[in-house]
Structures are given as C-alpha cells and as structure tokens.
Structure 1
Amino acid sequence: MNHRCPAVLVHGWRSHPGIWNRLAPALTEAAVPFWRFDHTGLQGAGTETIALALQDYIHTKREETGYGGPVDIVCHSMGTCIARYLLEVLDGVAREEDVRQLVGIGPPNNGSAMAELFNDPERGPEVIRRLVGVFVPEDYDPREDTIVQEFRPRSRTVAALRDAGTRDEITYRIVLGANLTATPAFFPAFAGKTWEFGPDRGWRTTYAGDGIVPHSDSYLPGARMDVLPADPGNLARHPELYCHTMLPRNPEVVARVRDYLSLSAGPAVRTPPRR
C-alpha cells in the first residue's frame, strides 16, 4: 500500500491541534502527509455537528490537494468517537468516505466513565475539583457540556455507535497507556489510578487506564490494541508521559503511530496491566 496515504489528525474534547506538535515532525520525516482538523471553534456543539464538520474538512482537503485515494485518521480521546460517528453512523450505509486505518489514542469507545462520574451527585464534585487545571477549567459544570452528556455510557449517541458497528474495510487500531508499575506519579490526581464502572456497574479504580479513560471504555471488537509502555521501566523515568493528556506527545506513542501510517509496525503489544 502507498505509505504516502494522508493522515487526518483529530484532536479531542476541549483540546486543540497543538497536541500533534510531536507527531507532525515525525510524520514529515517519514514522508507521510497530514491534515490537522481543528474543531476548537465548535465548543458547545454536539457529536453530529462536529462529525459533519470533519467530513467537510476532508472533502475540502481532497479538493485542495487533488487527492482521491484512501486516508488514515488519527485521533486522540473523544476525537476517535467523532471520527467513528462520521464513518459508522453518518456514512455507515453510503460508505463514501475512503478510510484505510482509524487510529484511536486513549478513546472512550464505549462511552466515557469519566463523563458519567462528572454527573454523579455523590462523587462528581470531588472528582471535578481534583481535575481543575488538569483536565477541566474552573467552575466547570458538566450539565452544560453537550459532548460530556452525549458520551455518558447509556446515551443515545453511544448506543448509535454500538448499533452501527465497525466497518470491515477499515483497520482499527487503539493505543492505550497503562500504569503497569502502580506509580502514583502516573496521574497524581487519582494516585495513579483510573475510575471505571465495575462488572456490577458500581464504581472502582484500576491501573488499567490512563488516568481519565479506563481500558474498559476503549475496547472495540476487532480492533488491534497496543498497551504502552512496552517496557514498564519507562514509567520509572517519565510516568506522566503515559497519562491521557500526554499520550499524543509521548515519544513511544508517536513512534508507534508513525509506524502504523508508514506500514512498518510489528505485532500489537498486549501487556496485561496490574489492577
């Protein structure tokens, strides 16, 4: 396959295209063209609106460049769900969007446990307090956040993704961080752990997550999954690089994504994290 297949970079919720400032030079060095989709101007918009804007952006870039072949889409966090909504819900029948790979970095594919936790009357206020300045702004109110409400696990948006299913012609890849050494500095706000729903739908914390998104939120049937670091010793040196907000800038993640896009990646790494 053509290693020059363009990569569409999609940032996440309350983020910006600057998160790709480590990946972009690596793609340039590997001769992989890339297009950075910026949806910062759509704060307050819903999933479908942002997904349609992504579709328009891809179409515009195709017209500007004259490129008519497949693209890869690389996403961080909620950006993955925006891209999936476009491909699986809006374009699931027509299949007009020609996509080779969808790479999700820390994606909440099954809905966001954190979004649900924000809305929990008992635990939510304290969780939000701990995340102010780290993941949410001062005076953050989840009730006013459209995306957070749409990605609560039992929402209609998450149900639409689940019912649509993945597309057979697209290779899905997931890149996750995990606190393999149970290091509190991995994500200090929660002592190195990540909140998730347990099998009984009760709350619990786990090291199988990146501080914000537990692995149970990310699992997607048929997707190829890499759990990083491949060498747990990396957590002793820079544990903070494997938490949710830093994953797109993590050198190991950057190298893995670059290899995906240039089709030189080896087998997926599946390292079982400690709980």
Structure 2
Amino acid sequence: MNHRCPAVLVHGWRSHPGIWNRLAPALSDAAVPFWNFDHTAMQGAGTETIALALRDYIHAKRKETGYGGPVDIVCHSMGTCIARYLLEVLDGDAQEEDVRQLVGIGPPNNGSAMAELFNDPEHGPEVIRRLIGVFVPEDYDPREDTIVQEFRPRSRTVAALRRAGTRDDIAYRIALGVNLTANPAFFPAFGGRTWEFGPDGGWRTTYAGDGIVPHSDSHLPGAQVDVLPADPANLTRHPEFYCHTMLPRNPEVVARVRDYLAVSSGPGVRNPPRR
C-alpha cells in the first residue's frame, strides 16, 4: 500500500505549472502522487490572495481524492513565500494545514534583493534591460507588479513572515544553485554573478547565488540546505542548469526533491525534529 504523501507543486512568479515537467515524471516513477497548483491566471493578485487560493486548492484536492493525511509542498522561487505565507501567517496559530515538508527551490525567504533592485533608480533600468526576455517581459514596469512590491525586503509582507517564523511541525528544506567555478555562462546576463545587498547596505555581486536569488535571500533558520552542484564539474558541462529559471528542471535538483518526498508516511510517521 502506498503511504507516500501527495506533493503539492507551487510554481513561482510569472512562471507556470510546466516548470515541473522534469520533476513530475520522476515523482510518478517513485510512486509519489502530486497536485500541480496553477496560479498563472492570478497575475496582479497579492500574496495573501494567492495563498488563500493555494489553501482552497489543497482542500479541494483532499475532498476530490479522499486523502486526509499530511502533504509535502514543493515550491520554486516566490512560490515558496506564497506557501509560507499560508502556513506561517494565515495558518500559523491554528496549524490546521497538515504539512510534513516544505521544499523551496531558490526561495527569496528574506525578501527579494532583485525586487528591490528593480526599483533602484540608479541600477534598476539597466538590470531590467538585461533581463528582458530572460526573466521579465518587454516594457516591464516593477511599479505595476504587486508581488515584486510586496517582496521588497522592507515590505509589510516580508515583515509578516519574519514575525510569524517557521513552524516546528514542518520540516523545511532548501535547494540552491551556486556558481562554484565563476563560470560566466552560469547566468550570462550578469556574467555568472548574482546581485545582493552587501554588509554595508550597498549593492554588490556574488557567485553565491543562482543569478536571480543570492543565498543571503534564501537563508531560513532551521532549514536543511542543499547547495548544488555537488560536483563542480557539472558547471563545465551544463552551467545554465544551475541558474534560477532552470533549477526546477535541473536533474540534480529533481533527484534531491524526489528523494525528500519518496519517504513513506503512514499514520504517525513524521520527519525527525528540525532542531
């Protein structure tokens, strides 16, 4: 009998459910059921609205399948913050949502340095120009983007997540890309580097990121972190696989996520405590 938790897949900002087209077959092969949440029709909506839609989707899938046990949630990028907002801010006190693991792939847990950079009067226009067709559409205006404004590091949304904190009943896991070999082909728009806030509060670039999200944005107390590739030689063969937009389709990331989820969870079976 299959006691594996269903995996709820949550895509990121300006993305789509097709981003899971490499993970989905791997989960099927491992007999892990999955529910693919689609919020592409909610562009322009805020964090709380999308988080409530995610809650309703999970409840509807439970009713449809008759499944009442814990689920795992796998997210890319900003999708992680949507799921965290549901679990920690909206459901944090009640803890009615039964979730075993939350897996974030390239998540901006502390707010997005890129969101702030988009709004920077000095650097923003050039950064956006470099990302047109790669990460943002033509004529992109961050002032009109609700999610980008809500995930600037000093926003009320990020402050709400910080106040709520993580939940002790959920195991948090993070998968990150890193440019170990300083290969400019890793993310050509920025020569293989990632923008981040420096210790002095100013801007700098680093190889400790995936081209869009620096590791400092992803840090989450108590989370298990896998920084990939495990073998630097992979950056010679396929450096682009480890940048932000490709991480959910990266074979190494897919294998790690599959292994996280392919753990049987019968009645009373939970992950060990995170702390």
TM over 0.5: yes
The amino acid across from 1:115 in the alignment is A
Q: Does 1:102 align with 2:105?
A: no
Tell me the C-alpha RMSD between the 2 structures.
Answer: 0.8
Give the match's secondary structure for 2:67.
coil
Equivalent-residue separation in structure 2 for 1:124 and 1:103 (angstroms)? 30
Structure 2: stretches of 5+ with no match in the other structure: 265-275
Residue in 1 that maps onto 2:168: 168
The amino acid across from 2:90 in the alignment is L
Equivalent-residue separation in structure 1 for 2:15 and 2:201 (angstroms)? 29
Equivalent-residue separation in structure 1 for 2:190 and 2:3 (angstroms)? 40
Whether the 8 Å CA contact 1:47–1:150 is kept in 2: the answer is yes
In structure 2, do the counterparts of structure 1 residues 224 and 3 end up closer, same or farther at CA, with 3 Å as the change threshold?
farther
Equivalent-residue separation in structure 2 for 1:200 and 1:260 (angstroms)? 37
The amino acid across from 2:177 in the alignment is G
Equivalent-residue separation in structure 2 for 1:65 and 1:90 (angstroms)? 24
The amino acid across from 2:168 in the alignment is D
Residue in 1 that maps onto 2:192: 192
Equivalent-residue separation in structure 2 for 1:252 and 1:148 (angstroms)? 29
Whether the 8 Å CA contact 1:3–1:32 is kept in 2: the answer is no
Residue in 2 that maps onto 1:123: 123
Equivalent-residue separation in structure 1 for 2:262 and 2:91 (angstroms)? 26
Whether the 8 Å CA contact 1:177–1:243 is kept in 2: the answer is yes
Paired residues for 1:174-185 under 5 Å: 174-185=174-185
Following superposition, the deviation at residue 3 of structure 1 comes to: 5.2
Residue in 2 that maps onto 1:133: 133
Give the match's secondary structure for 1:32.
coil
Equivalent-residue separation in structure 1 for 2:105 and 2:29 (angstroms)? 21
Whether the 8 Å CA contact 2:7–2:32 is kept in 1: the answer is yes
Equivalent-residue separation in structure 1 for 2:200 and 2:150 (angstroms)? 22
Equivalent-residue separation in structure 2 for 1:80 and 1:199 (angstroms)? 25
Aligned-residue identity in percent: 89
- Deviation digits for residues 215-267 of structure 1, max 9, x if unmatched? 00000000000000000000000000000000000000000000000139xxx
Whether the 8 Å CA contact 2:4–2:263 is kept in 1: the answer is no
Equivalent-residue separation in structure 2 for 1:201 and 1:158 (angstroms)? 17
Residue in 2 that maps onto 1:86: 86
- Deviation digits for residues 13-63 of structure 1, max 9, x if unmatched? 000000000000000000000000000010000000000000000000000
Residue in 2 that maps onto 1:114: 114
Structure 1: stretches of 5+ with no match in the other structure: 265-275
The amino acid across from 1:80 in the alignment is T
Residue in 2 that maps onto 1:71: 71
Equivalent-residue separation in structure 2 for 1:59 and 1:162 (angstroms)? 26
- Deviation digits for residues 175-230 of structure 1, max 9, x if unmatched? 00000000000000000000000111100000000000000000000000000000
Q: Which runs of 4+ in 1 moved over 4 A?
A: none
Residue in 2 that maps onto 1:10: 10
Whether the 8 Å CA contact 1:101–1:170 is kept in 2: the answer is yes
Residue in 2 that maps onto 1:204: 204
Residue in 2 that maps onto 1:270: none
Equivalent-residue separation in structure 2 for 1:163 and 1:180 (angstroms)? 33
The amino acid across from 1:54 in the alignment is L
Equivalent-residue separation in structure 1 for 2:168 and 2:198 (angstroms)? 30
Give the match's secondary structure for 2:175.
strand
Give the match's secondary structure for 2:86.
helix
Equivalent-residue separation in structure 1 for 2:7 and 2:178 (angstroms)? 26
Equivalent-residue separation in structure 2 for 1:147 and 1:5 (angstroms)? 30
Give the match's secondary structure for 2:209.
coil
The amino acid across from 1:228 in the alignment is L
TM, length-normalised to structure 1: 0.95
